[in-house]
Amino acid sequence: MQLYTVEFFERDGRKRIECARYANAKVARTRIRARGGLPARVSLCRPLSRHRRLRFAVPPIEVAAILDQLSMQLEAGYPLDEALYRLLENAPKGNRRLLLQELALRVSSDGAVADAFREFPRLFPDHFCQMIEVGHQGGRLPEVFASLGAHLARQDSLRASVQRALNYPLLALGLVGAVVGFLLVAVVPLFRTVFQELNAEMPMLTRGCLWLSDRIRDPVFWLLSGGAVISGGVLISSSPAVRLALRRLWETVPGVSGLVRLAAWARFCGNLQTLYRAGIALQRALEICAQNTGARRCDKVMARVAQRVQQGATMGEAMCGERTVPELLVSSILVGERTNRLEETLERMRLYFERRAQERAALALQWLEPLLTLGLGLLVGLVAVSLFYPLIRLSMSIRL
């Protein structure tokens, strides 16, 4: 039995798309005619290649919508494979439909839910798949899907707000870059001719500006630069060690490290709340969350906390003494454990850290625009000074 996509017309003239398993295409057409339909197209759903699955891309907001719809259908009592088939029937053509088709094929063939999602690492990171696996084993898959969908929706909203805030600075950067490029390509060579004819003495700043103009107008420079960029991109995408080194470097940038830690604690509280709500043992939930906070230092701290919990300590007690863990989070978890309201406490902490991260990001973006304008103004000023300073010195020497 193979999975087929059948497009057919019903008796009232409406066009429908149905996904179901049939022995072959002829049997599919026969079944549709027996129901009073008129088959228009029958196509076999073929699995994607591994290379394409690894690079498969779907917008995060669409992935969040898929997870939300799966959660609602599972809560309504539908099995996961049937829920995927129902979504596949109404999905438009494109990557979203291919994603549903691949998930339906793999879930219905071997029933390994988490393994089916692991085939798309760009869409479902490892900690997503671990949460799905634990939720499937514990019978809390609808809650896990709903939580992951909400998490992706929040991430997409934050990403969209940051992109909107960066539109103007990036536009200003592009315009000033174009102006500086025009000066270096079209204007600076004219000044070189003037300097040579007048035999003017050129300071180091002017010589550097002329050298940069020569490099920009040299095709070899662009070939080498393009090759270096492509090689760097390939190295980053193919080497986990390089990505880890860049991540460590990013976490040490002043002004960024605090934002990274706030986002990491918000992610930790959200993931732990989802697993705890799904009935997962606290020790196992901490082990999963300790690998996916997004900050290396926070990962190490939570791994130590998980070990102490395994030895018999409560989570609040295990966090005491860790300087990296915010005091507010430690005190809140201690109170939540004493009052048996740990889930509500984690939800409040997630909202708190997300709000702090958004405020920190907004403040950084507010400072970015004036700093960028100041830096670009200094750049244009340096180019102007490097060109006119030798002429001013020459005119003063002539007067003397």
- Read off the pLDDT of residues 21-48 as tens digits, 9 standing for 90 and up: 778 888 888 888 888 888 777 777 666 6
> Rounded CA gap, 129 and 288, in Å?
10
Helix axes 60-75, 95-110, angle to 10 degrees: 40
Amino acid (1-letter code) at residue 45: C
Residue 298: Cβ within 10 Å count: 24
Q: What is the pLDDT of residues 160-177, one digit of tens each?
A: 776 776 777 778 778 777
Number of helices (H), then strands (E), belonging to the chain: the values are 18, 3
Could you count the other beta carbons within 10 Å of the beta carbon of residue 143? 19
Percent of the chain with pLDDT over 90: 2
92: confidence class by pLDDT, cuts 50, 70, 90? confident
The confidence score (pLDDT) of residue 19 equals 67
Per-residue pLDDT tens for 217-257? 888 888 888 888 888 877 776 666 776 677 677 666 666 67
Q: Is the confidence at residue 320, as pLDDT, over 80?
A: yes
pTM, two decimal places: 0.67
pLDDT greater at residue 294 or residue 385: 385
Both tokens of 320, joined, read 């005491």
Q: Which amino acid is at 300?
A: K
Q: Return the pLDDT at 277.
A: 75
| Mean pLDDT comparison of 260-269, 328-337, 360-369, 389-398, highest-scoring range | 328-337
Closest-CA residue to 358 (of 64, 125, 160): 160
Mean pLDDT for all residues in the chain: 80
Helix (H) or strand (E) holding 153, with range, is helix 141-182
Structure tokens that stand for 316 in this block: 């609040």
Contact 91, 103 (CB under 8 A): no
pLDDT at 250: 65
| Structural domain boundaries in the chain | 2-44, 50-124
Q: Does residue 400 carry a pLDDT above 60?
A: no
Residues listed for the chain: 400
pLDDT of residue 253: 67
- The better pLDDT of the pair 327, 377 is held by 327
- Position 111 scores a pLDDT of 66
